[in-house]
């Protein structure tokens, strides 16, 4: 028995006031995912290690939480591996399952497994917890929620367009109208690599470009110069130095690269459809957007706040051409976006975007004058609840000021008063706790009091 | 890489059609929990082993999924314990955390930890996954959802009354009107033990009584006779043999037991408030209800189906007087109920209680005649989504019968047709997919088409 109970480091308890805010965001996400034609699925928290490992790189494998095999099975622990410091082998001998690390690999597994039961293109969304054995620190958790929408099995640019519209709809519903949706294309980055004379090592090139926002143009140029030989730095500089380079200008510079032209064409179709006048936030082509070293092969997108750039991205996504091939299902193009729940929540808090009604724990509180009076007005209580209002019966017959103070602490809007006096007068008193007014209703009206 | 990817045994993937049914139940639960004044919380899936272990008995401890310590920490594996077959010690040396086994112990930990931030009585609900390393079998899962509502810090009988009303409201909203809410009181069971001359060993007595439904009265009497000496079997028989024994009759038989009288008084207050005319389902006193060997100390309740008794209980709960004392917080009475999501779902499926609209993946499908036509009617698409309708754009410009067949597979209610002809005629065609009719709208009406 611990003297001061606590949740593990890197995890969180959500008290009602915090959870109602998170759920406000999730409700808006879920509503819009559905209205954009996405269907919800859930996968288990537990996945086989054979599903999880080898998908996220060595560092990722290390960060997957492994479940200890149950009961007698731990006897198979490979002590020799432990002694020879082969921790992977040792772990393998005592663990067969792990906790979901993201929602993307489970999606690929799900689609490959259930391909005969799904109708393609398959538009799915998923809002579930993921776990990472990262060192806990401020704002980084071992257990957090991911909110993803993906389309699997279709390569129409309509999907990219709809996903950008979805971003705009969700964020404007949440109260944001000054975010920027940066957009780029992996083929353009590959085109640049081609253009500047860089052959292979595309991933290394992308990972350096990805740091541009953090370390600046000069350091990026230096690092590329140090890393690669025979690269035309001047060509790279002329592409990256001027953020306001027009789309057409870039297109003409990269006209020697068929890959880049394909990427530019895709973006052109998007910009032709979505202009900044047709969305509430801003869409912006950003040649330097790289989105890390992941599985993206086409369009990439990232959402950020103009006012709080330190916060990092509020969401991101892109097209990947062959995710399900991890599970032997070939030629299945996908595209998806995700929403960063925690960061969205932080920014909404900063800007006071959570609606006030979230603070109301209850709409109506029933003042308790004893069980016999409660029984007399229980049809009213039923009726208010049937009006979809939150009703709390104060649990004990105690002093009125204590009951009203409880009502105030919970921001109740109304209090119902029905005690001996009211019983004798055949009336029910409704106090408006916000305006400080009250109204009296004849007891015979009990079924028709509307809140 | 596995050739045939699969989720672990004992876990489930939820496809959209299944998940929409589960979420239908959860939505009704959540709405009613709120309308009855419960506030939602969430606790992490990961808890410290010191929180989890020692709370569920030896068998429970074994069934807690343990998380392997990360990285270098596994080097501390206590190989000597393993060799001497002391698996608990070995496990302890490589695991500090586990997965939540139920929502009750985390609630107790949460309340003790955050007691200064909560307003008591604290009415909370929680709908989250729990994990148990049970042997997977038909209908028993290692990962499942619990739905609990509890009131902590109040011993008023109003809570029991409200919880029964809550059960009735949720189940009638789901479509059930023939369930039975069996109710009993632990003090009555203790009173019976007193009455028949059984001193201690109350738990053993309760665990035998608990089997009555399964093994029948004769076997129960035999087992009690075999287990205890100096027990008045005839007294026990006279109480248990006649299920229709009236409340008053039982009260008078047990008038030698003050404990039983206290329990009977509580039930009396409940029955005085809730009659079978004031609820849709049935409430029934059941002297043989025992609710297993758990922490209950007062009222106990269980929900079951009259028509499908094999299914087991659809929910249950009761009052516990000192749960938080596990975490050094004394004198905090609680009472709670839980809903068995999986069994409720099975019974609803059996009775065809899921509403038909759950089958509609989309309300409206947009037939794709090419991106230029989609662009022309995108304000209509926005408008339909703002009417909170689910809209899917068919992703590719393919043959119409393929697009309509996709719409039918997803039970779409309407299809929007806008191609070259319609563009030329300045009209938008809305097909009603259910009635097989269609209407034409002037293009200028685009913002005022209502679905």
Give A45-73 pLDDT, tens digit per residue: 999 999 999 988 888 999 999 999 998 89
Structural domain ending residue among the three candidates B324, B351, B378: B351
Rounded CA separation A9/A138 (Å): 11
In whole angstroms, what is the distance from residue A179 CA to residue A339 CA? 13
> How many interface pairs between A and B have CB atoms less than 8 angstroms apart?
290
Residue A27 is predicted with a pLDDT of: 98
The predicted structure's pLDDT at residue B1: 43
Question: For chain B (length 451 residues), average pLDDT per consecutive 10?
Answer: 81 97 98 98 98 90 95 91 93 97 96 94 97 88 97 96 98 97 94 84 82 87 88 88 81 90 95 92 92 85 88 93 86 94 95 94 96 96 96 96 93 96 97 95 91 88
Chain B residues in contact with A373 (beta carbon < 8 A): none
Q: Is A403 near chain B, with CB under 8 Å?
A: no
pLDDT at A79 over 70: yes
Q: Does the residue A377 lie in any domain?
A: yes
Nearest CA in chain B to A105: B5
Q: Could you tell me if A309 and A226 lie in one domain?
A: yes
With CB atoms and an 8 Å threshold, state whether B67 touches A71: no
What was the pLDDT predicted at B217? 87
3-state secondary structure of B317: strand
A59 contact B CB<8A: no
pLDDT averaged over every residue in chain A: 93
Question: Under a CB-based contact definition with an 8 Å cutoff, are residues B113 and B301 in contact?
Answer: no
CB within 8 Å: B37 and A169: no
**How far apart are alpha carbons A38 and A163 in whole angstroms?**
11
Residues B230 and B333 reside in one and the same domain: yes
Q: Where residue A229 falls among pLDDT bands split at 50, 70, 90?
A: confident
pLDDT mean over A15-43: 98
Would A442 be classed as within a structural domain? yes
In Å, how far are A339, B28, B446 from A32, measured between CA atoms?
Answer: 12, 20, 21
CATH number at residue A412: 3.40.50.800
Rg, chain A, Cα only:
29
Q: Are residues B304 and B420 in the same domain?
A: no
B451 touches chain A (CB under 8 A): no
Query: To the nearest whole angstrom, how far is the Cα of B179 from the nearest Cα of chain A?
Result: 20
Band the pLDDT of A1: cuts 50, 70, 90: very low
Top mean pLDDT of A204-208, A330-334, A375-379 is at A375-379
Facing residues of B317 across strands?
A: B301, B337
Comparing A166-180, A302-316, A368-382, which segment has the lowest mean pLDDT?
A302-316
Express each pLDDT in A351-375 by its tens digit: 999 999 998 889 999 999 999 999 9
Q: Say how far apart CA B323 and CA B321 lie, in whole Å.
A: 6
pLDDT value at position A169? 98
A310 & A390 share domain: no
Tell me, yes or no, whether A341 and A365 share the same domain. Answer: no
- Cross-chain Cβ contact B2/A48 below 8 Å: yes
pLDDT value for B200: 65
Binary contact (A109, B156; C-beta < 8 A):
no
Residue B94 main-chain phi, psi, to 5 deg: -125, 5
Give the full edge-to-edge strand order of the sheet including A282-285: A39-40, A122-131, A143-152, A334-339, A315-320, A299-305, A179-185, A282-285
Task: For residue B303, give the nearest of B147, B449, B116 by alpha carbon.
Answer: B147
A1 contacts B328? CB cut-off 8 A: yes
Considering the domain architecture, whether residues B85 and B24 belong to the same structural domain is answered as no
- A28, pLDDT greater than 70: yes
Residues A308 and A258 occupy one common structural domain:
yes
Distances (CA, A) of A293 to A100, A166, A289, B363: 20, 25, 12, 38
Q: Are residues B134 and B252 in the same domain?
A: yes
- Asked whether the beta carbons of residue B131 and residue A48 sit closer than 8 angstroms, the reply is no
Interface touch A169/B95, C-beta < 8 Å: no
* Residue A56 falls inside a structural domain: no
In a domain, B8, yes or no: no
Chosen for mutation from A37, A121, A129, A409 (greatest number of chain B CBs closer than 10 Å) is: A37
Same domain, A242 and A200: yes
- Domain annotation covers residue B182: yes
Predicted TM-score (pTM) of the model is: 0.95
| Confidence at residue A330, expressed as pLDDT on a 0 to 100 scale | 87
Nearest neighbour of A143 by CB, restricted to B39, B44, B62:
B44
**Candidates B3, B16, B144, B160, partner chain A, best to mutate (most A CBs within 10 A):** B16
pLDDT of residue A200: 65
Q: Domain end: A327, A350, A373, which one?
A: A350
* C-alpha distance from A399 to closest chain B C-alpha (Å): 15
ipTM, two decimals, is 0.94
Same-domain pairing of A214 and A334: yes
B-facing residues of A in 166-195 (CB < 8 A) are 169
Query: For residue A121, is pLDDT > 70?
Result: yes
**Is residue B448 less than 8 Å (CB to CB) from chain A?**
no
Domain boundary, last residue among A350, A382, A400: A350
| A15 within some domain | no
Render pLDDT for B28-53 as a digit per residue (tens, 0 to 9): 999 999 999 999 999 999 999 999 99
pLDDT at A68: 97
Query: Most B CBs within 10 Å: which of A5, A151, A374, as the mutation test of the B interface?
Result: A5
Full residue range of the structural domain in which residue A435 is found: 361-448
Which candidate, A345, A342, A343, A289, places its Cα nearest to that of A317?
A: A289
Q: What CATH number is associated with residue A118?
A: 3.30.930.10
B70/A contact by beta carbon, under 8 A: yes
**Nearest residue in B to A392, CA atom:** B37
pLDDT at A276 > cutoff 90: no
Residue B149: strand pairing partners = B125, B337
Asked if B121 and B252 sit in the same domain, the reply is yes
pLDDT at B93: 96
Find which of A46, A114, A169 to mutate to test the B interface (most B CBs within 10 Å of its CB): A46
Work out how many domains chain B is built from and give that number.
3
Domain contains A47: no
- The verdict on B266 and B371 lying in the same domain is no
Asked if residue B26 is part of any domain, the answer here is: yes
Say whether residue A412 is in contact with chain B using an 8 A CB cutoff.
no
The pLDDT score that the predictor gives to residue A4 is 86
């Amino acid at each position: 028995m611990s003297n001061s109970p606590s949740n593990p480091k890197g995890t969180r308890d959500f008290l009602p006031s915090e959870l109602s805010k998170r759920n406000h965001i999730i409700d808006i996400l879920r509503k819009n995912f559905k209205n954009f034609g996405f269907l919800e699925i859930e996968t288990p928290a537990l996945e086989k290690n054979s599903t999880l490992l080898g998908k996220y790189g060595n560092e990722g494998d290390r960060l997957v939480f492994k479940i200890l095999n149950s009961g007698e099975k731990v006897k198979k622990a490979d002590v020799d591996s432990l002694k020879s410091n082969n921790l992977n082998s040792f772990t393998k001998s005592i663990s067969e399952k792990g906790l979901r690390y993201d929602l993307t690999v489970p999606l690929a597994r799900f689609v490959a497994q259930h391909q005969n039961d799904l109708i393609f293109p398959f538009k799915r969304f998923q809002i579930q917890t993921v776990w990472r054995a990262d060192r806990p620190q401020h704002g980084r958790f071992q257990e957090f929620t991911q909110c993803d929408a993906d389309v699997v099995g279709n390569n129409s640019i309509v999907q990219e367009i709809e996903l950008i519209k979805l971003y705009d709809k969700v964020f404007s519903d949440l109260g944001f109208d000054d975010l920027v949706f940066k957009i780029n294309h992996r083929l353009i980055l590959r085109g640049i690599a081609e253009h500047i004379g860089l052959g292979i090592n595309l991933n290394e090139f992308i990972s350096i470009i990805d740091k541009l926002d953090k370390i600046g143009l000069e350091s990026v140029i230096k690092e590329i110069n140090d890393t690669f030989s025979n690269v035309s730095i001047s060509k790279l500089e002329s592409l990256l130095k001027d953020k306001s380079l027009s789309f057409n200008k870039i297109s003409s510079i990269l006209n020697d690269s068929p890959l880049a032209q394909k990427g530019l064409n895709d973006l052109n179709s998007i910009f032709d459809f979505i202009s900044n006048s047709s969305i509430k936030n801003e869409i912006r082509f950003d040649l330097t957007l790289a989105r890390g070293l992941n599985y993206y092969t086409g369009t990439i997108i990232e959402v950020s706040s103009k006012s709080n750039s330190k916060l990092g991205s509020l969401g991101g996504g892109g097209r990947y051409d062959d995710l399900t091939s991890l599970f032997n299902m070939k030629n299945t193009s996908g595209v998806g976006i995700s929403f960063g729940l925690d960061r969205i929540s932080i920014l909404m808090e900063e800007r006071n975007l959570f609606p006030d009604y979230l603070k109301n724990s209850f709409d109506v509180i029933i003042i308790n004058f004893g069980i016999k009076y409660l029984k007399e007005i229980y049809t009213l209580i039923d009726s208010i609840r049937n009006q979809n209002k939150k009703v709390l019966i104060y649990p004990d017959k105690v002093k009125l000021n204590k009951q009203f103070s409880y009502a105030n602490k919970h921001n109740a809007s109304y209090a119902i008063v029905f005690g001996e006096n009211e019983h004798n007068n055949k009336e029910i008193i409704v106090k408006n706790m916000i305006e400080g007014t009250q109204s009296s209703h004849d007891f015979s009206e009990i079924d028709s009091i509307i809140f």
